[in-house]
Amino acid sequence: MVVLKNLHQELARFRVRVLAAGAFVLFCFGLLVARLVWLQIVQHDNLAERAESNRIAVVPIVPNRGLIKDRHGVVLASNYSAYTLEINPAKVIDMDATIEQLGQFIDIQPRDKRRFKRLLEEAKHTDSLPIRTKLTDEEVARFTAQRFRFPGVEIKARLFRSYPLGDIGSHLIGYIGRINQAEKKAMDDWEEEDLANYRGTEYIGKLGLEQAYERELHGITGFEQVETSAGGRAVRRLDHRPPTPGNTLNLSIDIKLQALVEQLFGERRGALVAIDPRNGEVLAFVSKPTFDPNLFVDGIDADSWRELNEDIDKPLLNRALRGTYPPGSTFKPLMAMAALTSGKRGPHVVIQDNLVYSFGGRSFGSPEADRPGPKDMRAAIVSSSNVYFYDLANLMGVDLIHQELSPFGLGSRTDIDLQGEVTGVLPSTEWKRRRFNQKWYAGETISLGIGQGYNNFTMLQLANAYATVASGGQRFKPRLVREIEDVARHEQRRIASDAREPLPLKAADVGVILNAMNGVTLEGTSRQVFMGATYQSGGKTGTAQAVGLRAGERYSAIKADERKRDHSLYVAFAPLEQPTVALAVIVENAGWGSAAAAPIARRVFDYLLTGTYPSEEDIAKTQLGQTFAPIGTPRRAADVPLPGQAASAPATPASAASAASAASTAAAASTPARGASR
């Protein structure tokens, strides 16, 4: 059978199909062209930049951290370069298995694993984290031979902080540590320029001068632009800007004096601050016990942290800056100064001291060693009369005492160049109302006169107050850093202590106080300590209760408990004619001020004024509170090496250039209770 087709109709259909197919092909080509235009023209700059960034890596180069030196150039904080084994968590599939295999070639201790786990929890997922630091050359060679087995694991050269003198001056120097999450969050509020300068930085100052002068010590971060392969390996360096090392801090501290004082304390707790009253420079800033800041550089292990944190002696507490204590009888010369400046009592007014002062039906007593008799202001200070100052406090009242003594810096921050200073307490009626929502009772004023009651100050405040008295009213902000050295520009910037408006003290009034304090060293409670001294000084002993006594309880009932014994204090200045040093020292739970605190002050003055260093026998006896005047043959201070000097540093301190070069090469390749007196 023959089938007839409509050729015209078939041809029309064919044409429609061809047109449809052609339109579809043209549409597809149009999409390709449009995409090509989008990628090659519209997005060209963006994609070219991204492609270039995949080919080129910009690696930050962390600057060499600035040095810290004492006033004579002794290095207290430096840097060295060492190799670390690091893991990038984003590139490792099975972390536990990888660490286990690494242990076959590198010695990885359980503490290293615990620290790495803690860092892993705190850090961003893409951060490269150290599992072992300070690798030996042999360990580096072993790992390098097996590197192909460990993707995401590499060896880097990093800078480490070193504190060559160990625990000497640890509270004032401080330490650095890895930046934690709280610090990272705080850094988000920084200016963009400052934040950019910390790219690549993993460690930051945590305490002391390392924290207070972080920006000066950090330096300026450099960068290296390197061409990388598809596998991320560096091929060649394209551009380079070297980092600028941090500035050097030159301190006012004499580290040999600092070490001597710390040695004299022995195993006892306490603090000492010595200030030059002529300019506010701090000569010694001691808090005992101390700690080794090197423990924190590499991340302190849990056992060491627990030992420090749970130690009953609180070695991490900066007692000079944050420890507040009742001043005891060291407050009496300041009370006398307040009486003179306010006009409430003249120096020749005589008070009959019968060893008991009655007020409001209550009797306030005196120490057993006190002697009765008529006493003017000088005699009251020399003999440390409680009754004289009970009566003076009652005469003046709490608010006048506060008004006259607050300008000396008591009860307020001195604004020393350290963070974390506490205020202490110089009470007033307003203070008690604000603190306890209670009114002030007249009976509470009596004990203020002998430095008890609510009075609580730091040794820094007391030293600063007596520096003001010794200088005749000149006031300064105490400073630890006297000079900042820009190592890049070879310039030195002197940091002068900020002078405050001087107090309008009368020379005659100041003379009364200084003469009375000199009498303490000649005929008073510290005469045995300063026997044979070749210079004249002034001082005042103090004994302050660590705990209060219950009604009817005698001190002998609690003295068996060492931590309930009275604190030993001493404030002093020297030489008498033109004082160049004023200090305050406390030895916790050590008893009478003349027995423990004053002997330390004597040896500080001998060092600074005569250039002598106590004998080994004298140091050993002083540590036990068994000396007054120095014993044995003193040595020339210049001939005595620093005690506690580290035998050898972990590595040779790196120069700014060599440490930065090592880092860039690796980056391209990969408080006591208030309480008595005297």
Looking at the annotation, which residues are catalytic? Answer: 329
Question: Which helix H or strand E contains 481, and what residues bound it?
Answer: strand 481-486
Q: Can you tell me the distance from the alpha carbon of 618 to that of 359, in angstroms, rounded to the nearest whole number?
A: 45
81 and 135 Cβ atoms separated by less than 8 Å: no
In Å, how far from its chain's centre is CA 603? 25
Q: What are phi and psi of 461, to 5 degrees?
A: -65, -40
Helical ranges in 249-359 per DSSP H: 255-265, 294-297, 302-310, 319-322, 332-342
Q: Peptide bond before 579: cis, by omega within 30 degrees of 0?
A: no
Q: Can you tell me the distance from the alpha carbon of 333 to that of 381, in angstroms, rounded to the nearest whole number?
A: 7
For residue 614, the SS3 value is coil
CB atoms within 10 A of CB 18: 10
CB atoms within 10 A of CB 359: 15
Q: What are phi and psi of 587, to 5 degrees?
A: -115, 115
297 and 160 Cβ atoms separated by less than 8 Å: yes
For residue 420, the SS3 value is coil
* Tokens found for residue 58: 């910009």
Q: Can you tell me the distance from the alpha carbon of 519 to that of 530, in angstroms, rounded to the nearest whole number?
A: 11
**Sign of the C-alpha dihedral computed for residues 382, 386, 388 and 393 taken in this order:** positive
411 — alpha (psi -120 to 50), left (phi > 0) or beta?
A: left
470 and 539 Cβ atoms separated by less than 8 Å: no
197 and 218 Cβ atoms separated by less than 8 Å: yes
Cα distances from 358 to residues 328, 340, 353, 361, 629, in angstroms, run 20, 24, 12, 7, 38
Cα distances from 39 to residues 33, 42, 239, in angstroms, run 10, 6, 29
Q: Can you tell me the distance from the alpha carbon of 226 to that of 669, in angstroms, rounded to the nearest whole number?
A: 10
Nearest Cα neighbor of 276 from 609, 631, 618, 613 is 609
**Sign of the C-alpha dihedral computed for residues 249, 252, 255 and 258 taken in this order:** negative
